[in-house]
């Protein structure tokens, strides 16, 4: 590293890459650990294609919602099976590409994984290990600019997961208030809040305007999204944990590890 | 901003020591120039309520008369006394000693993204060169009665960015230039992205700042790590309210195929 970055000629001659003594490494370490665990878990679940639906309780894993292929368990395909047989792999892969793209290009997640995985930089005022840097100007990172498209494409998914939750409450023509339905509804609400709090949504809602006074409804929408946007990081984490837990809960119920506690 | 090497009368600025409420602190202060330098140890008395700049003055007055430090208002409004305290960019005049870990030595160095002139004083002319490259505010013609009219809600977004005191700590902490000297040619940095955003959001400005930001000032090199926002002493939401909205405006113009189809990407809209 000698001769580049903070060690460049003319800058203060200090040998250490950082003089920070606080636990700057803790946040990227937590991010790395949790994201890695989620990636491993979700990859296994997405390819596994087993115990994704509890027919008795009408609980469908959010990783598989909507389930669009003929491989889907009976009763799990609320939108039918338009994909039929042509997609030979797990039906989750058709769906997960959308939230994956949305989160990979999310402005909060970019900060989180650039720090935790790419160490660019690992923390503020901590020198990064890379000798060259071009940012998001070239392939593949230039595709971060597709964030708004993933926003639009993944926006229906929380609504569909919410529909799954309601379907579990009103199953087979009878009311049944189960814990699983509540878990799905919590996942749906947090996912929707995360989506609506996104910076692209804020821009589309009104951020691109220069004359708010000429567009009072969009201005009002922009102020509401701005409030949500202030919690974007928290919503990113909460929704991730919520959807993770929802899938795990469905797995446990579908595998008969425990039954879905319910009233009615 | 001026360089005050206050060796002429260093005791003039050093607060007195109230022995009944003082304690001894160990400081390491970087001393040197663009060729050589090292951290030097100082043991110095500290009073309740003092800030790091007070202690630097006391060291300067009692132990190191030739220590160079840039400062001006001592009230967090001039942006002159930017430095790194325990490795973190901070204004020395706004960093209370009581906010630092008790009993631990305090390390003070110059900003590490800029060439050092002497001791704690750096050459921040990079920022002034970048400022020159941003076209000035270019308002549309006045209305028939010779006035401009704007609603408060149309200008208040930009007013947040006017709080900037040009301490350049955001520029200092941005890894794009801090860790890559070669990027200084093509990257304006967060301070100037919020200047561009402020002007681009202004209802009267007629210049096209969006493509300028992307193609000349290196907006695409920013990878949103938010360090600029973390260090801003004015708590300007540089990333969320400045850089990201500017990036989204660039997406409208350059990367969104739907905008291209609809013909919305050709020029800056001012609706």
Q: How far is CA A203 from CA A149, A226, B61, in A?
A: 13, 10, 53
Q: Give backbone dihedrals phi and psi of A221, rounded to 5 degrees, phi first.
A: -60, -40
First to last CA, chain A: 66
Chain B residues inside the 8 Å CB shell of A124? 88-89, 173, 225, 227, 230-231
Please determine, for residue B107, whether its predicted confidence score (pLDDT) is greater than 90.
Answer: yes
In whole angstroms, what is the distance from residue A224 CA to residue A195 CA? 13
Handedness of CA B100, B103, B108, B112 (dihedral sign): negative
Position B119 scores a pLDDT of: 98
Q: How confident is the model at residue B8 (pLDDT cuts 50, 70, 90)?
A: low
Position B269 scores a pLDDT of: 67
- Cα A256 to the center of its chain, rounded Å: 28
Residue A79 within a domain: yes
Residue A232 within a domain: yes
Chain B residues inside the 8 Å CB shell of A215? 271
Position B2 scores a pLDDT of: 44
- Span A248-260, pLDDT tens digits: 999 999 999 999 9
Please determine, for residue B265, whether its predicted confidence score (pLDDT) is greater than 90.
Answer: no
Residue A12 within a domain: no
Query: Which of A5, A12, A24, A148 to probe by mutation at the B interface, max B CB count within 10 Å?
Result: A12
- Span B161-201, pLDDT tens digits: 999 999 999 999 999 999 999 999 999 999 999 999 999 99
Residue A7 within a domain: no
Q: Give backbone dihedrals phi and psi of B41, rounded to 5 degrees, phi first.
A: -90, 140
Q: How confident is the model at residue B3 (pLDDT cuts 50, 70, 90)?
A: very low
> Domain range for residue A106?
23-263
Q: Which of A11, A121, A130 sits opposite B225 (nearest CB)?
A: A121
Neighbours of B30 (CB within 10 A): 22
Asked if B216 has any chain A CB less than 8 Å from its own CB, the reply is no
C-beta separation of A260 from A180 below 8 A = yes
| CA-based nearest distance A42→chain B, Å | 26
Query: Which of A14, A149, A235 to probe by mutation at the B interface, max B CB count within 10 Å?
Result: A14
Percent of chain A with pLDDT over 70: 99
Q: Which of B116, B240, B245 sits opposite A10 (nearest CB)?
A: B116
Residue A18 within a domain: no
Residue A11 within a domain: no
Residue A3 within a domain: no
C-beta separation of B219 from A116 below 8 A = no
C-beta separation of B156 from B68 below 8 A = no
State the SS3 of chain A. CCCCHHHCCCCCCCCCCCCCCCCCCHHHHHHHHHHHHHHHHHHHHHHHCCCCEECCCCEECHHHCCCCECCCCCCCCCCCCCCECCCCCCCHHHHHHHHHHHHHCCHHHHHHHHHHCCCCCCCCCCCCCCCCCCCCCCCCHHHHHHHHHHHHHHCHHHHHHHHHHHHHHEECCEECEEHHHHHHHHHHHHHHHHHHCCHHHHHHHHHCCCCHHHCHHHHHHHHHHHHHHCCHHHHHHHHHHHHHHHHHHHHHHHCCCCCCCEEC
CA neighbor of A60 nearest in space, from A155, A167, A152: A167
Burial A143-170 (b: 16+ CB within 10 A, else e): ebbbbbbbbeebbebbebbbbbbebbbe
Chain A residues inside the 8 Å CB shell of B88? 20, 22, 124-125
Residue A213 within a domain: yes
Number of domains forming the structure of chain A: 1
Find the closest chain B residue to A197 by CA distance.
B240
- Span A83-107, pLDDT tens digits: 999 999 999 999 999 999 999 999 9
**pTM metric for this prediction:** 0.93
pLDDT: is B268 or A52 the higher one? A52
Chain B residues inside the 8 Å CB shell of A137? 218, 220-221
Mean pLDDT, residues B189-217 taken together: 96
- Span A230-241, pLDDT tens digits: 999 999 999 999
């Amino acid at each position: 590293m000698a001769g580049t970055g903070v060690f460049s000629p003319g800058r203060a001659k200090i040998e250490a890459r950082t003089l920070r003594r606080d636990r700057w490494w803790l946040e990227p370490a937590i991010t790395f650990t949790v994201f890695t665990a989620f990636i491993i878990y979700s990859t296994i679940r997405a390819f596994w294609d087993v115990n994704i639906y509890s027919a008795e309780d009408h609980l469908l894993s959010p990783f598989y919602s909507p389930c669009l292929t003929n491989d889907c368990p009976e009763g799990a395909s609320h939108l039918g099976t338009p994909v039929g047989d042509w997609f030979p792999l797990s039906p989750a892969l058709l769906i997960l590409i959308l939230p994956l793209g949305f989160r990979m290009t999310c402005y909060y997640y970019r900060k989180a994984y650039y720090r935790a995985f790419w160490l660019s930089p690992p923390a503020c005022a901590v020198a990064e290990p890379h000798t060259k840097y071009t940012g998001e100007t070239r392939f593949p990172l230039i595709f971060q600019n597709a964030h708004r498209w993933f926003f639009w494409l993944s926006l229906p998914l929380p609504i569909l997961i919410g529909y799954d939750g309601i379907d579990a409450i009103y199953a087979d023509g009878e009311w049944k208030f189960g814990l699983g339905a509540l878990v799905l509804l919590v996942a749906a609400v947090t996912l929707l809040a995360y989506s609506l709090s996104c910076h692209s949504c804020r821009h589309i809602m009104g951020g691109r305007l220069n004359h708010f006074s000429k567009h009072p409804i969009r201005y009002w929408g922009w102020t509401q999204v701005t409030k949500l946007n202030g919690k974007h990081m928290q919503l990113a984490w909460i929704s991730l944990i919520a959807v993770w837990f929802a899938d795990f809960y469905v797995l446990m119920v579908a595998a008969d590890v425990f039954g879905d506690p319910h009233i009615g | 901003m001026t360089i005050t090497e206050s060796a002429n009368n260093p005791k003039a600025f050093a607060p007195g020591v109230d022995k009944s409420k003082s304690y001894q602190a160990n400081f390491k202060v970087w001393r040197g120039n663009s060729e050589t330098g090292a951290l030097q140890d100082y043991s110095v008395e500290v009073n309740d309520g003092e800030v790091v700049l007070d202690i630097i003055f006391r060291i300067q007055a009692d132990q190191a008369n030739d220590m160079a430090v840039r400062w001006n208002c001592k009230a967090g409004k001039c942006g002159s006394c930017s430095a790194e305290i325990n490795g973190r960019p901070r204004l020395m005049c706004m960093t209370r000693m009581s906010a630092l870990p008790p009993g631990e030595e305090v390390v003070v160095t110059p900003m590490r993204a800029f060439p050092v002139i002497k001791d704690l004083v750096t050459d921040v002319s990079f920022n002034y060169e970048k400022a020159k490259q941003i076209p000035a505010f270019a308002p549309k013609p006045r209305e028939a009665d010779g006035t401009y009219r704007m609603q408060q809600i149309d200008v208040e977004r930009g007013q947040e960015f006017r709080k900037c005191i040009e301490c350049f700590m955001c520029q200092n902490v941005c890894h794009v230039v801090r860790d890559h000297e070669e990027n200084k040619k093509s990257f304006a940095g967060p301070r100037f992205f919020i200047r561009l955003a402020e002007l681009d959001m202004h209802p009267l400005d007629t210049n096209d700042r969006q493509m300028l930001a992307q193609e000349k000032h290196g907006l695409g090199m920013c990878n949103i790590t938010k360090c600029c926002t973390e260090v801003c002493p004015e708590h300007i939401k540089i990333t969320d309210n400045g850089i990201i909205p500017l990036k989204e405006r660039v997406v409208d113009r350059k990367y969104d195929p739907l905008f291209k189809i609809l013909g919305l990407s050709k020029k800056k809209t001012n609706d």
